[in-house]
Amino acid sequence: MTSRTLFLAACLFALGGCGGGSGGGGGASGGNAKPVKIVSSLPRTGSANAQTTTMVNGIRMAIDEAGGKVGELTIVYEDWDDASAKKGDWDPEVEAANADRAVKDANIMAYIGTYNSGAAKISMPVLNRAGLVMISPANTYMGLTKPGLGEPNEPDVYRPSGKINYFRVVPADDIQGRVAAEWIHSMGGKSAYVLDDRGLYGKGIADVFAATCEELGIGVLGREGIDPKAQEYRSLMTKVKQLDPDWVYFGGTTQSNAGQIAKDLIAVGLRSKFMVPDGCFEQAFIQAAGAENLNERAHVTFGGVPPEQLTGKGAEFVQRYREKYGKDPEAYAVYGYVAGQVALDAIARVGKKDREAIRAAVAQTHQADGALGTWQFDENGDTTMKIMSGNIVRDGEFKFVTILGQAAVGS
């Protein structure tokens, strides 16, 4: 028994070490008014945590660089969790509670989140009714903003007030699914088997991917949704093997079992290459699949440029991040940072606690030569930046291969 007690103590210690404190931000306030609050709602429990930790770090950096205040207003940041241990992933109940809590706190002027597109669907209408601005550093599902690309009632169903309060600083899946197919085409791929996790994000991106494949003359040999909680996929992979596609594409995330699919692809002796979207662009994916199973085989598209490929202000951000946290940022850290900047910038321009004015100010955002280059929000609340990158797994790390998506800019 003593060894188990020790063991538990060790675990608790380890958890405490990585959980970090959530009360880092707010210094003593100078003015007489209550400080302005910015909150984020990201999955902090479960395997997305490594990624979201660096996003939260990015948001903190943006606030610290502004000196914790804009003009006369002191800024306090709170890092909220929208995941539960029960799910090990984002939880609809928690996200709904977060949105409610944000609406009721009159000091909250910006809501940064979510990480998962499914979670955004829940909080968007709630925040929209309250006119609270929401800035996502990671959602890529098309239907959240783009009319005609999601369900028939999207995106209006998220905008009961008729105004746009939701903005995102990452390019959406219509672009990512497209560039994935274009990348395969440019590498000479002739056929693909398309799988998805039946989730909002995974299925959406796989649909665009499959449609673009057909447009480009890449044969889609099969299209299937998997059970993301299954133990293994050997039978499915055996079926795929009989068709011998050049590529297997999986629209899904690390949390929806991309690692196991990569493993079983090898286990049944498939020779196909493997491509996944940015939901797998995190170390947890390599950890889950085992580096040797992905080596030179797994290709990952990412709705932006990986940290080490950022230039100008972006490279400076990565440099400062390393100095501050002693670690390399994960892919989405810079989007957290930019989302933080967008919120601060809008609050600065308004200069007072006025949700409606801040919402309108965010819509007018125009970042020139920022960490992600020069861009603004379009009429749907999407970023005008459309550059993406293609990466490959080599020796247990993601290696940048190519810039993608210039061709998609005009379309």
Partner 1 sequence: METILQQLLIGLTNGMVFALIALGYTMVYGILELINFAHGDLFMLASFLALTLVGLLGLQSAGPATLVPALLLIVVVCAVFAAALNWTVDRLVYKPLRNAPKLAPLVSAIGVSFIFQNLGLFWGAIPLDVFGGGGAAAAPKAFPNLISNANLLGEESTLRITPKDIVVIASSLVVMAALYVFVRHSRLGKAMRATAQNPTAARLMGIDVDRVIGATFVIGGALAGFAAVIYGLYINTVNYQIGYQNGLFAFTAAVLGGIGNIPGAVLGGLVIGLVRAFSDQFIGAQWQPAVLFGMLILILVFRPSGLLGAHSREKV
Contact 243, 236 (CB under 8 A): no
Binding segment (CB under 8 A) for partner 1, from list 46-54, 176-184, 345-353, 364-372: 46-54
Interaction of residue 221 with partner 1, rule CB under 8 A:
no
Contact 24, 60 (CB under 8 A): yes
Interaction of residue 287 with partner 1, rule CB under 8 A:
yes
Least separation in angstroms between residue 282's CB and partner 1 is 9
Interface size with partner 1, residues (CB under 8 A): 51
The smaller minimum CB distance to partner 1, of residues 89 and 345, is found at: 89
Q: Identify the CA nearest to 173 among candidates 386, 338, 399, 411.
A: 386
CB neighbours of residue 100 within 10 Å? 14
Per CB under 8 A, the list member of 40, 47, 74, 383 interacting with partner 1 is: 47
Binding segment (CB under 8 A) for partner 1, from list 43-51, 184-192, 245-253, 363-371: 43-51
133-136 vs 108-112, strand pairing mode: parallel
Interaction of residue 263 with partner 1, rule CB under 8 A:
yes
Least separation in angstroms between residue 280's CB and partner 1 is 12
Interaction of residue 296 with partner 1, rule CB under 8 A:
no
Separation of alpha carbons 356 and 8, rounded Å: 49
Binding segment (CB under 8 A) for partner 1, from list 181-189, 256-264, 311-319, 399-407: 256-264
Helix axes 49-65, 313-325, angle to 10 degrees: 110
Contact 178, 215 (CB under 8 A): no
In the beta sheet, which residues pair with residue 222?
193
Per CB under 8 A, the list member of 227, 296, 316, 378 interacting with partner 1 is: 227
Q: Identify the CA nearest to 307 among candidates 395, 371, 377, 243.
A: 371
Residue 37 region by backbone torsions, left for phi larger than 0, else alpha for psi between -120 and 50, else beta: beta
Interaction of residue 229 with partner 1, rule CB under 8 A:
yes
Per CB under 8 A, the list member of 215, 224, 296, 316 interacting with partner 1 is: 224
Interaction of residue 300 with partner 1, rule CB under 8 A:
no
Token pair listed for 222: 């099969």
Q: Which of residues 167-196 bind partner 1 (CB under 8 A)?
A: 195
Strands (E), 283-395: 298-302, 366-370, 373-376, 388-394
Interaction of residue 6 with partner 1, rule CB under 8 A:
no
Interaction of residue 259 with partner 1, rule CB under 8 A:
yes
Q: Which of residues 75-104 bind partner 1 (CB under 8 A)?
A: 85, 88-89
Least separation in angstroms between residue 235's CB and partner 1 is 4
Q: Identify the CA nearest to 257 among candidates 333, 181, 195.
A: 195
Least separation in angstroms between residue 222's CB and partner 1 is 9
Interaction of residue 269 with partner 1, rule CB under 8 A:
yes
Q: Which of residues 327-386 bind partner 1 (CB under 8 A)?
A: none
Strands (E), 197-337: 219-225, 247-251, 273-276, 298-302
The smaller minimum CB distance to partner 1, of residues 239 and 349, is found at: 239
Separation of alpha carbons 26 and 21, rounded Å: 12
Q: Identify the CA nearest to 211 among candidates 240, 189, 244, 178.
A: 178
Which residues contribute to the site for partner 1 (CB under 8 A)?
7-8, 10-12, 14-15, 18, 45-50, 85, 88-89, 195, 198, 224-227, 229-236, 238-239, 242, 254, 257, 259-260, 263, 266-269, 283-284, 287-290, 292-293
